[in-house]
Amino acid sequence: MVAQNATLKSKEEIIEKLKKPEVISGSEILLRSLVLEGVECVFGYPGGAVLYIYDAMHGFSDFNHVLTRHEQGAIHAADGYARASGKVGVCIATSGPGATNLVTGIATAYMDSVPMVVITGNVATTLIGTDAFQEADITGITMPITKHSYLVRKAADLPRIIHEAFHIANTGRKGPVLIDIPKDVSAEMTMFQPVSEVSLRGYNPTVTPKKQQVDKLIKAIETAERPLVLAGGGVVYSGGHEELFEFVTKSGIPITTTLLGLGAFPSGNELWLGMPGMHGTWTANMAIQNADLLINIGARFDDRVTGKLKGFAPHAKIVHIDIDPAEIGKNVPTDIPIVGDVKTVLEIANKDVKWAANADAWRAQLAGWKAEKPYSYKDSDEVLKPQWVVEMIHEETKGEAIVTTDVGQHQMWAAQYYKFNQPRSWVTSGGLGTMGFGFPSAIGAQMAHPERTVVSINGDGGMQMCAQELAICAINNIPVKVAILNNQVLGMVRQWQELIYDNRYSHIDLAGSPDFVKLAEAYGVKGFRASNKEEARAAWIEAMNHPGPAVVEFVVNKGENVYPMVTQGSTIDQMLMGDEE
């Protein structure tokens, strides 16, 4: 791990020192304000327009700064940090290309409602608009993918703006906020006045729901014969997993959790049906299609969950609990809208919710389906199966690791076969589907939880989109365990080309990729390779026992597909089941 600086003083001492009003530079105001917001770790990359900021960071020890090897690595790491910790992720980049390299990461966080404060430098205010060297209109570029953004005009505004940015990022529906600081503003000397109040007339998220709406939900449960909970990332983000557990176990309503909701409810519980949607379980999808009451708790009816909208949950009365009123009714017409913070809504509901007494037959039916049709794959002793690898990793980490993934087949297998029991242990780019996210996000997650095992499951494609960050793992001894499921192909694209484009394989061959063991070792990270079960388990155990970061390349079979699969344009009960055993 990055060594905590030896000169780190007690928190109170630091805060008292920092709050003192005095004339300092915009850059120092920024650093002080970040510390006052509780920031402990920042990911960044310097450059011309942030030189004053980095100058102020020289010898600064009140938070950690992790120098990544690419701005993309910095922002995904900040994202992983935020998802794993629940705190606001922070990253810094310079103007122009530094800022534009953050765009994918900002969009990733925006789509999955991850709280982040993104700080960019810009050219001096006197140069803005002149196409100056390394100038980019980053507030303009990121307007559609930020919750809010600021272009700072004077240093005296910084304390207010930073405080507002953290407040906006981490309340309501969370999301990334960008602060663009021109170079002259970061140099400007001004009197620092810390700000601790927020006054935003246009921003007042509804936390407490209308009681009569919750009463309607309670009433609907009383009469429902086939009720179902669909829980999403909102449960995790609101910290409402315990309330969800109480709600579900008190009412006995079966539950399915979306990709981002994995870990919001313990997977070992008998009421849990698995994940719904395109690669969801047969039982979860059939439950949705047969339910007479669908209670959406903090999910957004994403198209990967709903499949064809016309024909989605055709028999169900829809209840939708969401902090963002714009999500309610956006995709699926809603009978009982409940606007509010998931945790707060469930706290209120739990006072009145009773056992769903009419649903006994339904519970039995779903339990039967669940036993009859679990996820399955045809195992092999000749070739290494990626699903088996995930199961093995689950076993060896006792299901207690923080798992991050990239995007594609391995992501779905990880979601299917790693059984999560606690929230904030699953970090994946669900909405944007960002390749290159898996590995750097693990670095952030490990920074947030130095004591936990962090496993990053990747494909051979996505791993090459951010492999350069192996350097910071080695240098800072960040002990992330990286699994690469190498099938020498862009697997999910291959699967679609096989099933939907009639076996016309176009530009998906990744043969000739670097030797991942050598690649790891070039960066000073321990590397392993495994091609069969025996090697795989041995290599993984060795990697786990190694005190530092390690990469394990699993050579898996090429033609494996993710099943079940709902093809685009089908309702979710139309599942391809593959070659089950």
Partner 1 sequence: MKKHTIAVLVNDQPGVLQRVSGLFGRRGFNIESITVGTSEEAGLSRMVIVTTGDDSTLEQVTKQLYKLIDVIKVIDLSANPMVARELALIKVNAEPAVRPEILGVVETFRASVVDIGTHTLMVQVVGDTEKIDAMIELLKPYGIRELSRTGVTAMIRGNARP
Residues recognised as catalytic: 71, 133-134, 183, 492
How many other β-carbons are positioned within 10 Å of the β-carbon of residue 275?
A: 24
Based on the shown chain and the rule CB under 8 A, indicate whether residue 184 belongs to the binding site for partner 1: no
What is the b/e burial string over 111-133, where b = at least 16 CB atoms within 10 angstroms of the residue's CB? Answer: bbbbbbbbbbbbbbbebbeeebe
Helical pair 386-396 and 533-545, crossing angle rounded to 10 deg:
40
- Minimum gap (Å) between residue 326 Cβ and partner 1: 4
- Minimum gap (Å) between residue 109 Cβ and partner 1: 16
Nearer to partner 1, 76 or 173 (CB): 173
One residue of 21, 59, 202, 512 binding partner 1 per CB under 8 A: 202
Nearer to partner 1, 200 or 541 (CB): 200
- Minimum gap (Å) between residue 147 Cβ and partner 1: 8
- Minimum gap (Å) between residue 117 Cβ and partner 1: 14
- Return the structure tokens found at 518: 């050598």
**Distance between CA 303 and CA 553 in Å, rounded?**
33
CB 373 within 8 A of CB 358: no
Nearer to partner 1, 161 or 293 (CB): 161
The partner residues of 119 in beta bridges, in order of sequence, read 92, 179
- The angle subtended at Cα 192 by Cα 186 and Cα 197, nearest 5°, is 110
Q: Which amino acid is at 42?
A: V
SS3 118: strand
CB 442 within 8 A of CB 81: no
User: Which helix or strand (DSSP H or E) is residue 66 part of?
Assistant: strand 64-67
**Distance between CA 395 and CA 497 in Å, rounded?**
33
Nearer to partner 1, 168 or 484 (CB): 168
One residue of 325, 524, 548, 578 binding partner 1 per CB under 8 A: 325
- The angle subtended at Cα 148 by Cα 120 and Cα 164, nearest 5°, is 85
Measured CA to CA in angstroms, residue 69 lies from 45, 172, 331 at distances of 8, 33, 40
- Minimum gap (Å) between residue 178 Cβ and partner 1: 12
- Minimum gap (Å) between residue 23 Cβ and partner 1: 27
CB 159 within 8 A of CB 29: yes
- Minimum gap (Å) between residue 144 Cβ and partner 1: 5
- Minimum gap (Å) between residue 202 Cβ and partner 1: 5
Nearer to partner 1, 79 or 324 (CB): 324
Based on the shown chain and the rule CB under 8 A, indicate whether residue 368 belongs to the binding site for partner 1: no
One residue of 31, 168, 185, 390 binding partner 1 per CB under 8 A: 168
Based on the shown chain and the rule CB under 8 A, indicate whether residue 330 belongs to the binding site for partner 1: yes
Cis peptide before 325 (omega within 30 of 0): no
- Binding map of partner 1 across residues 287-306, x = CB under 8 A, - = no contact: --------------------
Nearer to partner 1, 330 or 533 (CB): 330
One residue of 201, 310, 504, 507 binding partner 1 per CB under 8 A: 201
Q: Which amino acid is at 508?
A: I
CB 99 within 8 A of CB 498: no
Nearer to partner 1, 326 or 577 (CB): 326
- Minimum gap (Å) between residue 176 Cβ and partner 1: 13
User: Which 105-164 positions form the footprint of partner 1 (CB under 8 A)?
Assistant: 139-140, 143-144, 147-149, 151
**Distance between CA 207 and CA 562 in Å, rounded?**
39
The sheet carrying 336-339 orders its strands as: 255-257, 227-231, 293-297, 317-322, 336-339
One residue of 8, 189, 191, 200 binding partner 1 per CB under 8 A: 200
**Distance between CA 338 and CA 320 in Å, rounded?**
6
How many residues lie near partner 1 (CB under 8 A)?
19
- Minimum gap (Å) between residue 312 Cβ and partner 1: 16
Q: Which amino acid is at 444?
A: G
Q: What is the CB-side half-sphere exposure of residue 365 using CA atoms within 13 A?
A: 15
Nearer to partner 1, 41 or 321 (CB): 321
Nearer to partner 1, 172 or 527 (CB): 172
One residue of 129, 268, 329, 374 binding partner 1 per CB under 8 A: 329
Measured CA to CA in angstroms, residue 374 lies from 258, 281, 328, 384, 511 at distances of 16, 7, 31, 21, 33
Nearer to partner 1, 119 or 151 (CB): 151
Which is nearest to 442 in space by CA: 383, 494, 407, 482?
A: 482
DSSP string, 423-461: TT-EE---SS--TT-HHHHHHHHHHH-TTS-EEEEEETT
Helical pair 26-36 and 158-169, crossing angle rounded to 10 deg:
40
Nearer to partner 1, 206 or 477 (CB): 206
How many other β-carbons are positioned within 10 Å of the β-carbon of residue 480?
A: 28
- Minimum gap (Å) between residue 152 Cβ and partner 1: 11
The residues that touch partner 1, with contacts defined as CB under 8 A, are 139-140, 143-144, 147-149, 151, 168, 173, 200-203, 324-326, 329-330
